[in-house]
Protein backbone atom coordinates (compact mmCIF):
# COMPACT_ATOMS: atom_id res chain seq x y z
CA UNK A 1 0.00 0.00 0.00
CA UNK A 2 1.21 3.53 -0.74
CA UNK A 3 2.61 5.60 2.10
CA UNK A 4 -0.11 7.08 4.31
CA UNK A 5 0.34 10.82 4.83
CA UNK A 6 -1.95 11.23 7.85
CA UNK A 7 -2.09 8.04 9.84
CA UNK A 8 -2.84 6.43 13.18
CA UNK A 9 -1.73 3.12 14.62
CA UNK A 10 -3.97 0.28 13.46
CA UNK A 11 -4.05 -1.53 16.81
CA UNK A 12 -7.09 0.54 17.82
CA UNK A 13 -9.03 -1.21 15.05
CA UNK A 14 -7.81 -4.57 16.34
CA UNK A 15 -9.10 -3.78 19.84
CA UNK A 16 -12.41 -2.67 18.33
CA UNK A 17 -12.64 -5.80 16.19
CA UNK A 18 -11.89 -8.11 19.11
CA UNK A 19 -14.36 -6.32 21.36
CA UNK A 20 -17.34 -6.71 19.02
CA UNK A 21 -19.25 -9.87 18.04
CA UNK A 22 -17.64 -11.41 14.97
CA UNK A 23 -20.65 -10.84 12.75
CA UNK A 24 -21.16 -7.13 13.43
CA UNK A 25 -18.78 -5.86 10.76
CA UNK A 26 -17.44 -7.11 7.43
CA UNK A 27 -13.81 -6.18 7.94
CA UNK A 28 -12.71 -7.03 4.40
CA UNK A 29 -15.35 -4.72 3.03
CA UNK A 30 -14.31 -1.99 5.46
CA UNK A 31 -10.66 -2.35 4.44
CA UNK A 32 -11.52 -2.19 0.74
CA UNK A 33 -13.76 0.84 1.11
CA UNK A 34 -11.52 2.82 3.44
CA UNK A 35 -8.15 1.99 1.90
CA UNK A 36 -6.21 -0.07 4.42
CA UNK A 37 -4.80 -3.60 4.63
CA UNK A 38 -6.41 -6.08 7.01
CA UNK A 39 -3.08 -7.41 8.25
CA UNK A 40 -2.14 -3.92 9.48
CA UNK A 41 -4.47 -4.43 12.44
CA UNK A 42 -2.42 -7.36 13.79
CA UNK A 43 0.96 -5.83 12.98
CA UNK A 44 2.47 -4.06 16.03
CA UNK A 45 3.87 -1.46 13.62
CA UNK A 46 0.73 -1.28 11.45
CA UNK A 47 -0.86 2.04 10.52
CA UNK A 48 -4.07 3.08 8.74
CA UNK A 49 -5.26 6.41 7.34
CA UNK A 50 -6.72 8.55 10.11
CA UNK A 51 -9.85 9.02 7.98
CA UNK A 52 -10.30 5.23 7.88
CA UNK A 53 -9.88 4.93 11.64
CA UNK A 54 -12.60 7.47 12.36
CA UNK A 55 -14.98 6.10 9.71
CA UNK A 56 -14.74 2.49 10.93
CA UNK A 57 -15.49 3.51 14.52
CA UNK A 58 -18.59 5.38 13.39
CA UNK A 59 -19.77 2.44 11.26
CA UNK A 60 -19.21 0.05 14.17
CA UNK A 61 -21.53 2.08 16.40
CA UNK A 62 -24.21 2.14 13.75
CA UNK A 63 -23.90 -1.55 12.88
CA UNK A 64 -23.95 -2.70 16.50
CA UNK A 65 -26.86 -0.47 17.44
CA UNK A 66 -24.94 0.68 20.53
CA UNK A 67 -23.33 4.10 20.32
CA UNK A 68 -21.78 3.83 23.82
CA UNK A 69 -20.24 0.38 23.54
CA UNK A 70 -16.72 1.56 22.70
CA UNK A 71 -16.40 3.08 26.17
CA UNK A 72 -16.55 -0.40 27.69
CA UNK A 73 -14.52 -2.12 24.96
CA UNK A 74 -11.55 0.21 25.37
CA UNK A 75 -11.80 0.63 29.12
CA UNK A 76 -11.56 -3.16 29.41
CA UNK A 77 -8.59 -3.54 27.02
CA UNK A 78 -5.49 -5.17 28.49
CA UNK A 79 -2.57 -3.05 29.59
CA UNK A 80 -0.10 -3.53 26.76
CA UNK A 81 -2.74 -3.63 24.02
CA UNK A 82 -1.18 -0.40 22.77
CA UNK A 83 2.39 -1.56 23.39
CA UNK A 84 4.92 1.08 24.37
CA UNK A 85 2.36 3.81 24.87
CA UNK A 86 0.60 1.87 27.62
CA UNK A 87 3.78 1.10 29.54
CA UNK A 88 5.08 4.66 29.24
CA UNK A 89 2.28 5.58 31.63
CA UNK A 90 1.85 2.56 33.90
CA UNK A 91 5.59 2.08 34.54
CA UNK A 92 6.45 5.79 34.90
CA UNK A 93 8.06 7.06 38.12
CA UNK A 94 5.02 9.31 38.75
CA UNK A 95 1.69 10.05 37.10
CA UNK A 96 3.08 13.44 36.11
CA UNK A 97 5.95 11.85 34.21
CA UNK A 98 3.53 9.40 32.62
CA UNK A 99 1.38 12.27 31.35
CA UNK A 100 4.44 14.07 30.00
CA UNK A 101 5.49 10.85 28.25
CA UNK A 102 2.12 10.58 26.51
CA UNK A 103 2.52 14.12 25.23
CA UNK A 104 6.14 13.64 24.24
CA UNK A 105 5.67 10.38 22.35
CA UNK A 106 2.25 10.95 20.80
CA UNK A 107 3.91 10.99 17.38
CA UNK A 108 4.53 7.25 17.58
CA UNK A 109 0.75 6.79 17.75
CA UNK A 110 -0.33 9.25 15.06
CA UNK A 111 0.78 12.27 13.07
CA UNK A 112 -2.81 13.50 12.70
CA UNK A 113 -3.62 14.64 16.25
CA UNK A 114 -1.81 15.51 19.45
CA UNK A 115 -2.14 15.15 23.21
CA UNK A 116 -1.08 18.03 25.42
CA UNK A 117 -0.46 17.96 29.16
CA UNK A 118 -0.58 20.99 31.42
CA UNK A 119 -1.11 21.83 35.06
CA UNK A 120 -3.79 24.47 35.35
CA UNK A 121 -6.17 25.54 38.11
CA UNK A 122 -4.76 23.01 40.55
CA UNK A 123 -5.30 20.13 38.15
CA UNK A 124 -3.31 18.06 35.70
CA UNK A 125 -5.04 18.22 32.32
CA UNK A 126 -4.61 15.95 29.31
CA UNK A 127 -6.23 17.33 26.17
CA UNK A 128 -6.70 15.73 22.77
CA UNK A 129 -6.39 18.15 19.82
CA UNK A 130 -8.27 16.79 16.80
CA UNK A 131 -8.94 17.99 13.25
CA UNK A 132 -12.51 17.97 11.96
CA UNK A 133 -11.23 17.66 8.39
CA UNK A 134 -10.37 14.01 9.06
CA UNK A 135 -14.02 13.11 9.51
CA UNK A 136 -16.31 12.42 12.46
CA UNK A 137 -14.12 11.51 15.43
CA UNK A 138 -16.89 11.11 18.04
CA UNK A 139 -16.78 7.33 18.56
CA UNK A 140 -13.00 7.19 18.39
CA UNK A 141 -12.78 9.93 21.04
CA UNK A 142 -15.09 7.93 23.30
CA UNK A 143 -12.65 5.04 22.90
CA UNK A 144 -9.56 7.14 23.59
CA UNK A 145 -11.03 8.66 26.72
CA UNK A 146 -12.02 5.26 28.11
CA UNK A 147 -8.54 3.94 27.29
CA UNK A 148 -6.85 6.88 29.03
CA UNK A 149 -9.05 6.45 32.09
CA UNK A 150 -8.04 2.77 32.14
CA UNK A 151 -4.42 3.90 32.39
CA UNK A 152 -5.17 5.97 35.49
CA UNK A 153 -7.22 3.13 36.95
CA UNK A 154 -4.27 0.75 36.58
CA UNK A 155 -1.76 3.30 37.85
CA UNK A 156 -3.76 4.18 40.98
CA UNK A 157 -5.15 0.70 41.62
CA UNK A 158 -8.70 2.01 41.60
CA UNK A 159 -11.69 1.08 39.48
CA UNK A 160 -12.91 4.66 39.60
CA UNK A 161 -10.08 7.13 40.27
CA UNK A 162 -10.98 10.80 40.84
CA UNK A 163 -10.99 11.79 37.17
CA UNK A 164 -13.03 14.51 35.50
CA UNK A 165 -13.78 13.89 31.81
CA UNK A 166 -15.05 16.43 29.28
CA UNK A 167 -16.01 15.60 25.71
CA UNK A 168 -16.62 18.16 22.98
CA UNK A 169 -19.43 16.15 21.47
CA UNK A 170 -22.94 15.06 22.38
CA UNK A 171 -23.79 12.21 24.71
CA UNK A 172 -24.57 8.79 23.22
CA UNK A 173 -28.14 7.52 23.17
CA UNK A 174 -27.14 4.37 25.04
CA UNK A 175 -25.30 4.31 28.36
CA UNK A 176 -22.17 2.25 28.96
CA UNK A 177 -21.01 0.67 32.19
CA UNK A 178 -18.08 3.08 32.04
CA UNK A 179 -20.47 6.05 32.11
CA UNK A 180 -22.45 4.55 34.96
CA UNK A 181 -19.28 4.08 36.98
CA UNK A 182 -18.05 7.65 36.52
CA UNK A 183 -21.50 9.21 36.58
CA UNK A 184 -21.63 13.00 36.43
CA UNK A 185 -17.84 13.18 36.16
CA UNK A 186 -18.22 12.39 32.43
CA UNK A 187 -19.58 15.53 30.79
CA UNK A 188 -20.64 15.94 27.16
CA UNK A 189 -21.14 18.98 24.90
CA UNK A 190 -18.04 20.62 26.37
CA UNK A 191 -15.48 22.88 24.74
CA UNK A 192 -12.54 20.46 24.91
CA UNK A 193 -11.73 16.77 24.81
CA UNK A 194 -9.91 16.50 28.10
CA UNK A 195 -9.29 14.41 31.19
CA UNK A 196 -8.21 16.01 34.44
CA UNK A 197 -7.19 15.00 37.95
CA UNK A 198 -6.32 17.01 41.05
CA UNK A 199 -2.65 18.05 40.86
CA UNK A 200 -1.64 16.38 44.12
CA UNK A 201 -2.28 12.98 42.55
CA UNK A 202 0.39 13.68 39.93
CA UNK A 203 3.15 12.90 42.42
CA UNK A 204 1.73 9.41 43.01
CA UNK A 205 3.84 6.45 41.96
CA UNK A 206 1.90 4.08 39.65
CA UNK A 207 1.18 0.66 41.15
CA UNK A 208 3.19 -0.95 38.34
CA UNK A 209 6.07 1.52 38.51
CA UNK A 210 9.37 -0.02 37.46
CA UNK A 211 12.14 2.51 36.87
CA UNK A 212 14.40 0.07 35.07
CA UNK A 213 11.63 -1.10 32.75
CA UNK A 214 10.53 2.50 32.21
CA UNK A 215 14.04 3.48 31.12
CA UNK A 216 14.05 0.64 28.57
CA UNK A 217 10.59 1.59 27.29
CA UNK A 218 11.54 5.26 27.09
CA UNK A 219 14.64 4.44 25.02
CA UNK A 220 12.62 2.19 22.73
CA UNK A 221 9.99 4.92 22.31
CA UNK A 222 12.66 7.49 21.53
CA UNK A 223 14.17 5.13 18.97
CA UNK A 224 10.78 4.65 17.31
CA UNK A 225 10.09 8.38 17.37
CA UNK A 226 13.43 9.10 15.73
CA UNK A 227 12.93 6.34 13.19
CA UNK A 228 9.58 7.76 12.11
CA UNK A 229 11.09 11.22 11.89
CA UNK A 230 13.96 9.95 9.76
CA UNK A 231 11.61 8.09 7.46
CA UNK A 232 9.66 11.30 6.93
CA UNK A 233 12.54 13.75 6.60
CA UNK A 234 15.94 12.40 7.60
CA UNK A 235 17.81 15.70 7.43
CA UNK A 236 15.10 17.58 9.30
CA UNK A 237 15.23 15.04 12.13
CA UNK A 238 19.03 15.20 12.31
CA UNK A 239 19.00 19.00 12.10
CA UNK A 240 16.57 19.20 15.02
CA UNK A 241 18.87 17.11 17.20
CA UNK A 242 21.87 19.21 16.13
CA UNK A 243 19.98 22.33 17.25
CA UNK A 244 19.24 20.80 20.64
CA UNK A 245 22.80 19.56 21.24
CA UNK A 246 24.14 22.99 20.28
CA UNK A 247 22.27 24.52 23.20
CA UNK A 248 23.74 21.87 25.50
CA UNK A 249 27.23 22.61 24.20
CA UNK A 250 27.72 19.02 22.98
CA UNK A 251 27.17 19.25 19.24
CA UNK A 252 29.38 16.41 18.06
CA UNK A 253 28.75 13.60 15.62
CA UNK A 254 28.95 11.15 18.53
CA UNK A 255 26.40 13.04 20.65
CA UNK A 256 23.93 13.50 17.80
CA UNK A 257 24.19 9.84 16.79
CA UNK A 258 23.63 8.70 20.38
CA UNK A 259 20.54 10.91 20.74
CA UNK A 260 19.08 9.49 17.53
CA UNK A 261 19.86 5.93 18.60
CA UNK A 262 22.16 5.42 15.60
CA UNK A 263 25.80 4.49 15.15
CA UNK A 264 28.10 7.27 13.98
CA UNK A 265 28.64 5.44 10.71
CA UNK A 266 24.90 5.05 10.11
CA UNK A 267 24.39 8.73 10.77
CA UNK A 268 27.19 9.64 8.35
CA UNK A 269 25.75 7.31 5.72
CA UNK A 270 22.30 8.86 6.08
CA UNK A 271 23.71 12.33 5.53
CA UNK A 272 25.89 11.18 2.64
CA UNK A 273 22.80 9.72 0.96
CA UNK A 274 21.23 13.18 1.23
CA UNK A 275 24.35 14.85 -0.17
CA UNK A 276 25.53 16.68 2.93
CA UNK A 277 28.25 16.20 5.55
CA UNK A 278 27.86 16.62 9.31
CA UNK A 279 29.93 19.82 9.19
CA UNK A 280 27.82 21.26 6.37
CA UNK A 281 24.55 20.36 8.07
CA UNK A 282 25.70 21.88 11.35
CA UNK A 283 26.62 25.08 9.50
CA UNK A 284 23.18 25.15 7.84
CA UNK A 285 21.47 24.78 11.22
CA UNK A 286 23.59 27.50 12.82
CA UNK A 287 22.95 29.91 9.94
CA UNK A 288 19.21 29.19 9.95
CA UNK A 289 18.97 29.60 13.72
CA UNK A 290 21.03 32.80 13.66
CA UNK A 291 18.74 34.18 10.98
CA UNK A 292 15.66 33.38 13.04
CA UNK A 293 16.99 34.69 16.36
CA UNK A 294 18.33 37.94 14.94
CA UNK A 295 15.30 38.70 12.80
CA UNK A 296 12.45 37.46 15.01
CA UNK A 297 13.57 37.78 18.63
CA UNK A 298 15.05 40.35 20.98
CA UNK A 299 17.35 37.90 22.74
CA UNK A 300 20.71 39.44 23.70
CA UNK A 301 23.48 38.74 21.18
CA UNK A 302 25.45 36.94 23.90
CA UNK A 303 22.54 34.57 24.55
CA UNK A 304 22.05 33.91 20.84
CA UNK A 305 25.72 33.11 20.61
CA UNK A 306 25.39 30.62 23.48
CA UNK A 307 22.30 28.95 21.99
CA UNK A 308 24.21 28.37 18.76
CA UNK A 309 27.08 26.70 20.58
CA UNK A 310 29.62 29.52 20.48
CA UNK A 311 31.67 30.07 23.60
CA UNK A 312 32.72 33.57 22.51
CA UNK A 313 30.52 36.32 21.08
CA UNK A 314 33.40 37.40 18.84
CA UNK A 315 33.44 33.98 17.16
CA UNK A 316 29.69 34.17 16.58
CA UNK A 317 30.02 37.70 15.16
CA UNK A 318 32.68 36.56 12.68
CA UNK A 319 30.41 33.71 11.56
CA UNK A 320 27.48 36.11 11.05
CA UNK A 321 29.70 38.43 9.01
CA UNK A 322 30.70 35.48 6.84
CA UNK A 323 27.07 34.35 6.34
CA UNK A 324 25.34 37.70 5.90
CA UNK A 325 28.05 40.28 5.20
CA UNK A 326 27.60 42.37 8.35
CA UNK A 327 27.68 41.98 12.17
CA UNK A 328 24.70 40.73 14.24
CA UNK A 329 23.63 44.16 15.52
CA UNK A 330 23.50 45.61 12.01
CA UNK A 331 21.26 42.75 10.89
CA UNK A 332 18.86 43.46 13.72
CA UNK A 333 18.68 47.10 12.71
CA UNK A 334 18.10 46.24 9.05
CA UNK A 335 16.26 42.89 8.80
CA UNK A 336 15.72 43.40 5.04
CA UNK A 337 19.27 42.19 4.61
CA UNK A 338 17.85 38.67 5.14
CA UNK A 339 15.44 38.94 2.22
CA UNK A 340 17.56 37.07 -0.30
CA UNK A 341 18.97 34.53 2.12
CA UNK A 342 18.12 31.07 0.79
CA UNK A 343 17.91 28.14 3.18
CA UNK A 344 17.89 24.41 2.36
CA UNK A 345 14.40 22.98 1.87
CA UNK A 346 14.52 20.87 5.03
CA UNK A 347 15.28 23.79 7.36
CA UNK A 348 12.26 26.15 7.32
CA UNK A 349 10.12 23.72 9.33
CA UNK A 350 12.94 23.32 11.82
CA UNK A 351 13.70 26.95 12.48
CA UNK A 352 10.56 27.87 14.52
CA UNK A 353 11.36 24.98 16.89
CA UNK A 354 14.90 26.12 17.64
CA UNK A 355 15.00 27.66 21.13
CA UNK A 356 12.58 30.08 22.78
CA UNK A 357 11.42 33.50 21.66
CA UNK A 358 11.26 34.89 25.13
CA distance 142 to 112: 17
Shared-domain flag, residues 251 and 181: no
Q: Are residues 237 and 309 in the same domain?
A: yes
**30 and 140 part of one domain:** yes
Residue-level pLDDT at 119: 95
Asked whether residue 345 falls in the same domain as residue 199, the answer is: no
CATH of the domain at 277: 1.10.10.60
> Phi, psi at residue 30, to the nearest 5°?
-60, -45
In a domain, 278, yes or no: yes
pTM for this prediction: 0.66
Q: So what's the pLDDT on residue 348?
A: 47
pLDDT recorded at residue 229:
62
Low-confidence ranges of the chain (pLDDT < 50): 1-3, 340, 348-358
Both 320 and 276 in a single domain?
yes
Residue 278: domain span:
233-353
Residues 172 and 275 in one domain: no
Q: Is residue 30 part of a domain?
A: yes
Number of domains in the chain: 2
> Are residue 90 and residue 48 in the same domain, yes or no?
yes
- Based on the fold, state whether residues 174 and 275 are members of the same structural domain: no
- 179 lies in the same domain as 105: yes
Element (H, E) at 74: helix 69-75
d(CA 282, CA 238): 9
What pLDDT digit, counting tens, does each position of 329-350 carry?
888 887 666 554 556 655 644 4
Residue 218 belongs to some domain of the structure = no
Does one domain contain both 162 and 241?
no
* pLDDT at site 342: 59
Which helix (DSSP H) or strand (DSSP E) does residue 134 occupy?
none
Q: Determine, yes or no, domain membership for 334.
A: yes
Same domain membership, residue 165 and residue 99: yes
With CA atoms as reference, report the closest residue to 182 among 137, 146, 143, 138: 146
Amino acid sequence: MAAVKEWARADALRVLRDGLPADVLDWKDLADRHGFELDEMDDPEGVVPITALYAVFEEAAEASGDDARVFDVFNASDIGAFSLFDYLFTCAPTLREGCHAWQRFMQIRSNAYTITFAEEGGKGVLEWKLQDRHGTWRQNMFARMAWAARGFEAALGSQTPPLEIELATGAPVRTSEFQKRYGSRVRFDGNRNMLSIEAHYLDAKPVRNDNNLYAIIERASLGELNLRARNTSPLSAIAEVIAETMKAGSCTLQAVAATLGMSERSLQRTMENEGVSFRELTAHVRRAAARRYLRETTLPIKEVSYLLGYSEVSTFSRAVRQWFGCPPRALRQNPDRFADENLPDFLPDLVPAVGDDS
